[in-house]
Every structure is written in structure tokens, then in C-alpha cells.
Chains A and B, each alone.
Chain A
């Protein structure tokens, strides 16, 4: 089954404790992206990757890191999480970039709480 998986689905952590949220897709997609969703603000892009070893900042990259060493994986790293990073996070992938390339597949989401 074609899908995007994220782990963990739920995480409660404390300020400053490094964490990684994993994202994996099994569709051989080139494009992958991370979004966060906050009440009243909608989904906003954090980082994206157009292909292996190619990553770039989205609209809200501060406090996050990513890497794309393999085509299927795109982990999101919070080196020193803070309470303002409490949010619902979504990973997404698509075959190519978004300008007319068709559908983007989203993962099930990771609900992160930083205390």
C-alpha cells in the first residue's frame, strides 16, 4: 500500500531534550516536505526536499533541522525543543515538485507536546 508513515504518532517531551520525528514513504517520490499545523494558523511548511541531499527552508524553519540521505526518509530534528514547538506535524511527499505535478500524500501526523 502506498503510504507515508511517521513515528512517533504522539510525543510528550521536555524543553531542551533533542528529538527526531521520522518520516518514510514507499512510493519512490522525489519531493518530501514537513508542515506544522496550529489552531488559527493552518498548515505551514517547515522544510522541504526536492531530492536526495537537496533540502531547503520553508516558511517556519527556525528551531528545526532536516536531512535527506535516502530517497525514502526525511527525518525532522528538533535539537533543543521549546514549548512554542508544541504542534501537530505532518510529513508529505509527491512524485515531483508541486507546480502541477499532482497529488501530495500526507502522513498521519505527529502530535508533539513540549513542556
Chain B
């Protein structure tokens, strides 16, 4: 099994709806990153969480870290077609460097 599991694997929502993507680690988290990848393009950094209970927002995207559950959730409010893409969580499983372990990604489509 993967060290970092994302769910759901894919998601289709109507424009304007809220949605949540989850990322669960099987190992201790020293940091959790969220990236967005537009289809066929590079990775865009969204935010990084390090402390349990930490919550950060970037425009209409909010991410939280539950250190005890070794889990992070990414919530998009009032989704728009521009939110479409692949959302990837990356985990730091040690505090010695920045080698991230990535989840399998969540493919988000937003229907206008």
C-alpha cells in the first residue's frame, strides 16, 4: 500500500459546489504540502502545513492538518472551472530534508 493515500481519486463537481480532498499518511508527518497540477503542466505550490491543527487558506482553498490522525484535508469553497486539475499532497516523513513522498493525486473536474 502507498505511504500516502489520497481520496477520492477523482471528483466531478458542479460549479459553485464545495468539495474536500483527503490525504492520509501511514507514517509520522513532519510536514504536508499541497500542490496543484494543471493537466500536462507543472506543479504549483498551494500551501504547506507543519503543525497539528494548523489551517491555511489560499483564495478559496483551505487546508488543515490533523497531526494525530496523520491526515490533511483540502477544502475548496464555491468551486470554479479554474479549480480543475490534479491535486497532489506531498509528505515529509523525516525532518532531515525535503524529499517528499507524494500521494496518487485527486483529479478534479468542475462542470460549468
Question: Does A associate with B in a complex?
Answer: no
